[in-house]
A and B are shown apart, each in its own frame.
Chain A
Amino acid sequence: MEKIVFNISLFSYLGASLGYFVYLVYRKPVVSTIATATVGAGLLAHTVWLGLRSMETGHGPYTTSFEIGMFFAWLIVVVYFLTEWNFKIKDLGAFVLPLAFLAVLFSAFLSKDVAFVRESQPFWLTLHRTLSVMGYAAFTIAFAAAIMYLIQENQVKSKKLGIMYFRMPSLEVLDKLNDKVITIGFPLFTLGFMTGPLWKAKMDMPVLAWDITKTWPLVIVWVIYGVIFFGRMFSGIRGKKAAQGAIVGFVMVVLTYFLHV
């Protein structure tokens, strides 16, 4: 059963990615409706999978890399749905769903062993991991919006107005989207980042005895999004710079993830 729902969500995301791409290029409203329905079905299966897995392990999906990968992909799709509903940008799907698909696909190759949880502070662990992954999901959407922004910006700037110019939303909307998700994602990520040492402290582990190679990219991630977050508030960082920042930040997030796997 677990396997079936896993596969349903994997292939739904693949199908929806293709659907959104077709919609982006050919603008057939039917295709986008089908794609959205497919994502919905995938998300449902994905949710069932998370439930089954949690019942099997006795805790939330955030102990092994496999679980975190799946939880991350699930949040990407949830945040995507919220964004699509809020901003009405269907074309975002063509950029976000492939990422959700890749996250699930990659997770499929990870060890599916159930981790034995010895932690005596599950509350802090849950908080730490959940907040961080929520932040990452928001950053993923920011990344997709940034790619779209740079494509659109390049078209307007170079005066070569191709099909994407007409299909994709305005620079302002894409910048607003970047703003929204980072404004929400950065505090979540910060809280997640800070609850890590707190959890360790509660566990009576030495707080500062971090694995440096695993931690330094996180600090860089925090700095990058911090610059965008505060820069937008105080020193007019927006548009292209915010988009470039969101891309660099996301690359660092992915790198960090691989270092942790």
Chain B
Amino acid sequence: MADPNLVLVGVNHKMTPVEIRERLAFSAGEIEASLERLVSHPEVIENIILSTCNRVEIYARVRDTSKGISLLKDFICDYHNIPVGDLDNYFYSFQGEHAVEHLFRVSSSLDSMVLGEAQILGQVKDAYSLARSLRSTGMVLNQLFEKAFNVAKKVREETGIAERGVSISSAAVELARKIFEDLENRSVMLVGTGEMAELAAKNLINYGVKTVYVCSRTYERAEALAKTLNGCALDFDMFKEEMHKADIVITSTASPKFIIKKDMVEHAIHQRKNKPIFFIDIAVPRDIEPEVNDLDSVYLYDIDDLQSVVSANVKEREKEAETAMELISNEVTKFNNWVVSLDAVPTIVEIRNRAESIRKNELEKALNKMGPLSEEDKNTLTLMTQSILNKIFHKPTINLKKQTQSQEGHVYLKTIRHLFHLDD
């Protein structure tokens, strides 16, 4: 195989507004139909379609790169009944190692709106397995995507790209997990029923929090929220007495004054035998006296604290993205080496075939000249000639495979093919 002619055509959230992206999106059923249509096109060898709310991309191996790229653009427009010229400014297209790099960046979530978010990898995996099940992929795209999943895993493990929460509620969950480790069977108390508090509570429940208490000045509201969170509603005044039962307290009342004071918390902590409580004060004006944070085993974060944690985390993710890019460019090189090494095999086979046919011809001639020989003698001669070929080609075969892994692999290969006159 010569150049695998990898190409990629797509639009994403960075260059294309949502009004256009939504017109170009493919539903699962549409993807199935399109994959089949594309792969039956003589120009296309393999293809995969990735369609999410932030991007529509087609990865393909084609016979000719520039023809392939315009074919894919035309296909996307055609499919959605949009005149081709209208979208020229929005499409990007890459080929060869740039396409490889782009896929690695996408699946590692470096191209996402929220750097390091986990969803995209699942979406890429789905796109791949759909295409694979429909047999629209082959050796190169299979290897490329499997590699992309490895790279994404490596990026997640070896950089901090996904380590830090970049929303208020995820930062709060992260803090809770640094205090309590396991949120399984923890209890959370909501004082006030603000929307953000509800969101944070839901996030905590996702992480295993079992018991939820809800207090509100209007009992009906508490009851309604308790119902959606599968918790129990309490009279507003009860929160003081019940506070010691909660590992995490989230406040979001409209009270103009502090409703949770230091002595109150001190009492609760004492009742809990110094087991920690994590207070999250989402209310503005604040509900919890800041001095509460001075108590042992008590951790208090207000909305500004959480906000500054989030912005520090966003910056950190950007820094980690740079490390991730280095890792990715190494992986792109490795993938290219693999692609190049593919070329060695057919060349070796061609050389061996040629040598083999010479061997057979010459052996035949020799046998004819020698007159009648016993089967055994004939066998010995055959084995000898085969063994000569094997010995001559052993080292060159190994070296050729090795050399094609290096940067200059293709030059090496070209020389060999020229020496053996394989490309006339």
Residues of A participating in the B interface, judged by any CB pair closer than 8 Å: 27-29, 152, 156-157, 159, 161, 165-166, 169-173, 235-241
Contacts and interface: CB of A to CB of B under 8 A. Distances in A.
Contact of B180 (A161, A172, A237, A240): A172
Contacts of B180: 170-172
A207 B272 CA distance: 44
Interface of B: 157-158, 160, 163-164, 175, 177-182, 272-276, 293, 296-297, 299, 301, 305, 308-309, 312
Contact of A170 (B181, B293, B296, B312): B181
A159 B276 contact: no
Contact of B181 (A28, A29, A159, A172): A172
Given A157-B293, A239-B296, A170 B179 contact: yes
A237 B160 contact: no
Nearest first, the 3 closest Cβ-Cβ pairs linking A and B are A236-B273, A170-B181, A236-B274
Contacts of B309: 159, 161
A83 to B, nearest CB: 16
Contact of A240 (B182, B296, B308, B312): B296
B297 A239 contact: yes
A156 B296 contact: no
B181 A173 contact: yes
Contacts of A171: 178-181, 276
A159 B301 contact: yes
A27 B299 CA distance: 27
Given A170-B181, A235-B273, A240-B297, 7 more contacts: A28-B158, A29-B158, A159-B309, A166-B160, A171-B180, A240-B296, A241-B296
A171 B309 CA distance: 18
Contact of A27 (B158, B272, B275, B297): B158
Nearest to B299: A156
Contacts of A236: 272-275
A238 B274 contact: yes
A166 B162 CA distance: 11
Contacts of A240: 296-297
A169 B297 CA distance: 17
A78 to B, nearest CB: 26
A241 B269 CA distance: 14
Given A27-B160, A169-B181, A170-B180, A156 B175 contact: yes
A252 to B, nearest CB: 23
Contacts of A237: 274
A170 B163 contact: no
Contacts of B296: 239-241
A161 B273 contact: no
Nearest to B313: A161
A241 B273 CA distance: 12
B267 to A, nearest CB: 13
A99 B146 CA distance: 44
B204 to A, nearest CB: 15
Contacts of A238: 273-275, 297
Contact of B179 (A28, A156, A166, A235): A156
Contacts of B160: 27, 166
Nearest to A30: B158
B330 to A, nearest CB: 14
A157 B299 contact: yes
B258 to A, nearest CB: 19
Contacts of A27: 158, 160
A156 B177 CA distance: 11
Nearest to A173: B181
B174 to A, nearest CB: 9
A94 to B, nearest CB: 18
A236 B276 CA distance: 11
Nearest to B278: A156
